[in-house]
Structure 1
Amino acid sequence: MFHIPLRLVTCLTASLALLAPTLVAAESAHAAAKRIRLGSSADVSRGSWSGPAYTMNGSGAVVPATMTRAIDAIRGGTGTLDVVVIAASAPGSGSTTPECDTVMGLAGVNSCTTWTLTTRNDGNNSAANSDIRNAEFVYFAGGDQCDYADWKGTALQNSVKSVVAKGGGSGGGSAGHHINSAVVYDACGGSVTTDEALYDPYDPAITFTTGMFSWPNYAGTINDSHFVTRDRMGRTMAFVARAIEDGLTTGGAAWGVGVDDGGSLFIDKNGLATAAGADTFVVLGDHRPEQADPDRYLTYDDYKIWRLRPGGTYDFKNRPTCGYYLRSVVDGIPDRDLYNGTPVTNCG
C-alpha cells in the first residue's frame, strides 16, 4: 500500500442529521484524533455475545453481505450492537464516514463511530480506546497498513483484542485486511510488486510486523489485497516463502490469503471462511523454499492454491488437505496462469 496524506475530518453534512451524528474533539493531549458518531449516542449494554466473527475485504469499502453476516453472528440474531471504524487518514473526497454510512444501513446496528487517528500516540487516546472496548465490531478502513502496524504496543492493540475476546469481531478492507492477519506485510518500506518480490524475496520493501493480532483459527496467515486486479499472486508467494524461511510462522508452513477488489471473506467463530463478492485465494507453502536469499531469484516448488469463488468455503480450523492446484516458481519465474488450475483430488 502507498502512503497517502493524513486526512482531516470535518463536520457531517445536514443530510446525516437524522442519524444524530456527534463530532467530539479528542482530549488535548491527542489533538490529532477526531471522532464522528452516527446512530444512538448510548452504547448497547448486554452481558454476552455470540462471536467472534471477521470480515476480510480485498478493497477498503465495507461489503454489506459479509458485514451483515458478522453482525448477525455476533448478536446471535437478536438485539443490536455498536461498531467502531478506525482510520489513519480521511477519504480524499465525499463523505467523511463512508464505512459507517454503509454500516448504518444494515439491520442490527445501534451506532457506528469513526475514529481518525493520525499518530502513534493516538493509539493511547483514552476516548478512542473506550469506544473500541465498548464496541462489538472493529473495522479498519483502507489506507496504509504501516500506520496501523505503528499502533503495536499501544492501548489500541489490546482494546481491539478485547472486542474479539468478548465474542465481538474485527475486520477491514485493503490495509485493514492486511493488519488482521497473523503475519502482516506492513509496507513500511514501500509497496512491492510481484516481479520485484519474485526476483528478490528480501527486497527492502518487503517488511513484516508480527504479534499484532493472532485471531483464533487464523494462525500462520499473511493477508494480501486487490489480489487479481493488481496481480499480487507472485508477491504473496514470496511473502509465504519468506515467512517460512525466517520462522515467522510455526510448523514450517504459511498461508497467504488474497482477496480481490470487491471481494470479502467472512470467517465465523469456528474458523469456517466463506467468500463473497469476488474470488479469494489461499496459498499454502508447506516446506522451506528451494531458494530464498537476498539478491537471488526465488525458487519454490509446489505451492498449494485453493481458489474460492463466491460462496466457496475454506476451513481455517481444520485446514483442508485436498482441493488445491499446484504452482511453482523457478529462478523468479512463476508457472503460467497462477489464478486457475485443475484441483488435485487424489491427495494421498
Structure 2
Amino acid sequence: MDWFLDRQDRASASLLRREITAFLTRHTVDQAEEIDDAALIVAELLANAYDHGQGDIWVSLQWTEARPVLEVHDMGAAFTLPREAPSAEQSRGRGLWIVSRFSSELAVAAKRAGGKVVRSVLPVVRPLELTLDLPARRVSPLPALSEARPEGGFGRESFLRALVVQLSTAIEQQQGPEAAQRAIAQVAADIGGQMEQEYRDAVAAHEAPLEPAQIAECLIRLKAAIGGTFEVVEVTEDRLVFVNSDCPFGAAVRQSPSLCRMTSSVFGGIAARNVGSSAVTLEERIAMGDPQCRVVVHLGAAAAKAERAHRYSAAP
C-alpha cells in the first residue's frame, strides 16, 4: 500500500501513523508491545522526513513476508545511520537511533537520480492470511487547469486519465483500499488478456505459450499503445527487466502511487498465463519520485524467490 504526503500538511503524518498502527493491530495477535514499537518507528521516520527531508514524501507498506516493511521516500540527501546514542549536544540523530533499537532492520539508501529511501522492517508478525484493508487515502488528483485547451475544456487524454484516477480513489473511499486494489487488478487482467490476444493474432502465435522474449515484446507493445515509453533491458528464462521514463498517467501518478498496481497486474498476469507463475517487483517508480520506472518480472520458479513482489499465478 502506498501514500503521497503533502509536505505542507504536517497533520497528514499523524493521520497516517494512526492508520498504519490500526492496520497492524488488526492483523496481529497478542503483540501489543510490538505494535507500540512499530508505531514509534512509523512516527519517527515520518517526523524525520518532514523535519530533515526535502521535496515530496511517499510512504509504502509492504507485507509479503512474515514482517512488514515500511519505506519512506523523499527528495533529500541520504545520510549515515547513527551507530551509538547521540550526545545531548547533537541536534539530530536521536530519533533514528531509537528506531534502530526497535527495528529488526533499518537502512538508508540514496536513490539513483536523487533523493533517498529509509527502510525499516517492523517488529510484528502477521498470521498466515492477510487482508489489505487500510483506510482510504484522501488524495484526489484532477486535471491541472493548465491542461485546459485554448478553445475550452480538457482534452480526451486528460479526461480519461482523471477518470481512472478518480474511480480508483472513489472505490477506496467508499469500500476500502482492498476493494480498490482488486478492482484495479481485475481491470488490468481483463485489459492484459485482450492485449495478449491482439499480440497473438498479430504474430500468429495462437496456441503455444509465449516465450520470454515474446512476453517482453507483447508488454512493450501494449504499453506503447497507451503512451508509455517502456524499453526492455534484460530478457532471460528467469526474468524480464523493463525501464520507463514517461508514465501514461502523467504527473498525477505521484499523488496516486497505488495506480502502479495496474502495470504490475498487466505484466504479472500475462507472464503467469504463459509460464505458470510470476512475481513483479517495482524497483523504481515515477510515482515514488524516481525519474523512471524499473519493473522486474520474475518468471516461473524464480518468482518464489522474489522479495517484496506482487505474485500472480495462471488461472485454473
TM-score by length of 2: 0.27
More helix per residue = 2
TM-score by length of 1: 0.25
More strand per residue = 1
